[in-house]
Structure 1
Amino acid sequence: MGKWIKREVAVTKTVDYKAAGVDIEAGNEAVRRIKQSVESTFSSQVLTSLGGFGAMYDLKAIAEHYRHPVLVQSIDGVGTKMMVAKLMQCFDTIGRDLVSATTNDIIVLGATPLTLLDYIANDKLHPAVIEKIVEGMAAACRENHISLVGGETAEMPGTYLPGEYDLVGVVTGVVEKDQAILGHDIVPGDVLLAFPSSGLHTNGYSLARKLFFDVGGYQVTSRLPALPVTLGEALLTPHVNYTLPVLHLLSQKIHIKGMAHITGGGLLENLPRMLPANCAVDMVRGACPVLPIFDAMQRLGQLPDEEMYRTFNMGVGLVMVVAPASVTAMRAALTHFPLFPLYDIGQVVSGQRTVRLI
């Protein structure tokens, strides 16, 4: 019979949480750094301060403006755009990307964003980096009247590679039930109007990094003839937030039948998400200007149009479907938003939730 032998290891010094790779004091320092920025986003409806177990948000005043309020929620992240931020050591705009990625996903349903929760994970917590990320987040929240009510900063050595960060957000909004935009009344003959994007926004970065850094051999500091800034700066261009112009259109009683935020899956995958079963889309290539960064990637990868339009937004950030009779009123309502030009990019036709590029 064999013997079970107990092994003992001599411990010559205290093995605490910091020795295991988690620095509690660094976490506390990060909270101290971001406290003012976070609380600058609070509306009078926020009842709790930073550092509590949960966030409380008073719905009474808001509910009085609705007959049948419905909560709308979405979760999203910035994906591998964070790796470009790491290469650039520039983290002051990536928080803005998170706010745009999440809020744009609920405004397409007609919802008004109210609150945001964030989750920042890394291998080793650097309070100065957290501060920059949250400052950008807070600035975007203030601009769009969203309360950044809480978040989680997770330091997980062994889970993430050195210097890696992951950034995720959960947005909550509200919409009147009978005014939710679900695409049910879209019919053939309706037109597609688009707000342009500023670049890749927060999608397609795995392919973009492969093309620029591996295939092309470029660095973030490289300058391409077609780009007015360095490659890194072009890739970090912030995701446009469409909350204010969309909510303005809705407040002006413009009847928007359906909307699509062009995210992962590009135009070919996202446009069908707003269509009813009997409708398809004919979309005109280049009707909304295709930005030079997309042309550069297509040349590097020798990619067909179908692949480009299935991966990237190709210059189109958000698409709205309206009846032809609504176009003039929509354009007039947007005169106060000169940074949001409107492009006619196609029409709805009979079909089965497909997109044809023409």
Structure 2
Amino acid sequence: MGVTYKDAGVDIDAGNAFVKMIKPLVKATSRPEVIADIGGFGGLFSLNTQKYKNPVLVSGTDGVGTKLKIAFMTDRHDTVGIDLVAMCVNDIVVQGAEPLFFLDYLATGRLLPEKAAEIVKGISNGCVQAGCALIGGETAEMPGFYADGEYDIAGFTVGVVDRDRIIDGSSITVGDRLIGIASSGLHSNGYSLARKVILEKLGLKMDNLLPGLNKTVADELLTPTRIYVKSVLNLMRDFHLNGIAHITGGGLLENIPRVLPASCKALIDRSAWDVPPIFKIMQEGGAISDEEMFRTFNCGIGMVLAVPEKETDDILIRLSGLNETAFVIGEVAKCSPGKECVEFKE
């Protein structure tokens, strides 16, 4: 008998079993606009243009980065899919876009249907949190390309916003207040540095309790990225959001300036919020400078909203009602040419 594809490391039967396993997970994310089940060559989504005056499609793509290393080390794969969705949908909602649908790409050396289904379980969970439909994806079995037991995932999302409701920061003015919405932890950024400090410098293992915390290293580092979509869309209905920054790679230092007009800077009050213990543990354990912390990690703030001063209190009340923890972390001030766009004060 001749050599088969399975002999070369690609198991088509395992792929078919995987697709069968994830169908209920995909179905749980469906929206009325979805007009085909998974399995076709492309996902079909019928945009209801009657809901919009001048619809603009907004797209985003991202991955999870080296946070996946923690999933490999712990053999826990049911939450990284949430991270994948979060990193994509949080990016487009800051422009006012409602995420409509999501696609994923999973590549691995050897497809293990049960493990892959755990990943998609997280993706499905994230899509439900964001209100978008998982309408397709790709699973690539690539023997010899990835180390045994390892994989990579990427995500892609498309959303829609009316042109006159796009949030691009152009309406930010001096005097606007900056509201920070709390993160759920590290989210999915800075894990190369986090692993170096926690695992190498501090010598901790995945099942060790973190100093001063009643949580293991694994539980803390695998905490899923918070998805802010429904909260932001809720605020958009009743308030003026002049600009929003998703605090991802680059931290507060690099992401806030992405939405600021050239004549403005952000004055951040470092005492306005309690930095979660995990960040303090890493900073002390690695003797990391303040600047390095604020340009690598979110330091407890996952989203920053620039809003009119007169609406600040009402927005904070609404966010509390939406189960978000939020703080006024600063304000927008006039910036001279060539000066830093983000300034911290004690």
TM-score range, shorter chain: over 0.9
Is it true that 1:36 corresponds to 2:21 in the alignment? no
- Determine the structure 2 residue equivalent to 1:169: 155
Q: Distance in 1 between matches of 2:108 and 2:275?
A: 35
Aligned-pair CA distance for 1:42: 1.2
Q: Distance in 2 between matches of 1:201 and 1:115?
A: 22
- Runs of 4 or more off by more than 6 Å in structure 1? none
Q: Distance in 2 between matches of 1:72 and 1:212?
A: 37
Identity of aligned residues (%): 45
> Which entry has the higher C-alpha Rg, 1 or 2?
1
What residue ranges of structure 2 are gaps of 5+ in the alignment?
none
- Determine the structure 2 residue equivalent to 1:192: 178
Aligned-pair CA distance for 1:243: 0.8
Give per-residue Cα distances to partners, 1:121-172, cap 9 Å, x unaligned: 1111111111111112112212332100001111112222221111111011
* Contact 1:70–1:177, Cα closer than 8 Å, also in 2: yes
Give per-residue Cα distances to partners, 1:82-105, cap 9 Å, x unaligned: 110111111111111111111100
User: The residue matched to 2:51 in structure 1 has which SS?
Assistant: coil
What residue ranges of structure 1 are gaps of 5+ in the alignment?
1-12
The TM-score normalised by the length of structure 1 is: 0.93
Partner amino acid, structure 1, of 2:229: T
Give per-residue Cα distances to partners, 1:18-76, cap 9 Å, x unaligned: 222211111111111101111221112111111110011011xx211111000000001
User: The residue matched to 1:317 in structure 2 has which SS?
Assistant: strand
* Contact 1:291–1:314, Cα closer than 8 Å, also in 2: yes
* Contact 1:196–1:342, Cα closer than 8 Å, also in 2: yes
Is it true that 1:288 corresponds to 2:276 in the alignment? no
Partner amino acid, structure 1, of 2:37: S
Partner amino acid, structure 2, of 1:209: R
- Determine the structure 1 residue equivalent to 2:52: 66
Q: Distance in 2 between matches of 1:312 and 1:287?
A: 17
Aligned-pair CA distance for 1:341: 1.9
* Contact 2:320–2:326, Cα closer than 8 Å, also in 1: no
Alignment of 1:200-239 (within 5 A): 200-239=186-225
Q: 2:8 aligns with which of 20, 26, 51?
A: 20
Is it true that 1:251 corresponds to 2:241 in the alignment? no
Q: Distance in 1 between matches of 2:129 and 2:192?
A: 30
Aligned-pair CA distance for 1:335: 4.5
Q: 1:263 aligns with which of 248, 251, 273?
A: 248
- Determine the structure 2 residue equivalent to 1:341: 325
Question: Number of matched residues?
Answer: 342
User: The residue matched to 1:64 in structure 2 has which SS?
Assistant: helix
* Contact 1:227–1:234, Cα closer than 8 Å, also in 2: no
Aligned-pair CA distance for 1:265: 0.7
Q: Distance in 2 between matches of 1:335 and 1:213?
A: 35
- Determine the structure 2 residue equivalent to 1:306: 291
- Determine the structure 2 residue equivalent to 1:97: 83
Q: Distance in 1 between matches of 2:318 and 2:106?
A: 38
Q: Distance in 1 between matches of 2:67 and 2:217?
A: 13
- Determine the structure 2 residue equivalent to 1:5: none
Aligned-pair CA distance for 1:349: 1.3
- Determine the structure 2 residue equivalent to 1:355: 342
Is it true that 1:240 corresponds to 2:226 in the alignment? yes
* Contact 1:106–1:113, Cα closer than 8 Å, also in 2: yes
User: The residue matched to 1:22 in structure 2 has which SS?
Assistant: coil
Partner amino acid, structure 2, of 1:236: L
Question: Residues 223, 335 of structure 1: CA spacing in aligned structure 2 closer, same or farther, 3 A cutoff?
Answer: closer
- Determine the structure 1 residue equivalent to 2:309: 324
* Contact 1:259–1:320, Cα closer than 8 Å, also in 2: yes
Partner amino acid, structure 2, of 1:187: T
Cα RMSD between the aligned structures?
A: 1.3
- Determine the structure 2 residue equivalent to 1:10: none
Is it true that 1:150 corresponds to 2:136 in the alignment? yes
* Contact 1:39–1:50, Cα closer than 8 Å, also in 2: no
* Contact 1:226–1:293, Cα closer than 8 Å, also in 2: no
Q: Distance in 1 between matches of 2:237 and 2:92?
A: 16
- Determine the structure 2 residue equivalent to 1:3: none
Q: Distance in 1 between matches of 2:166 and 2:113?
A: 40
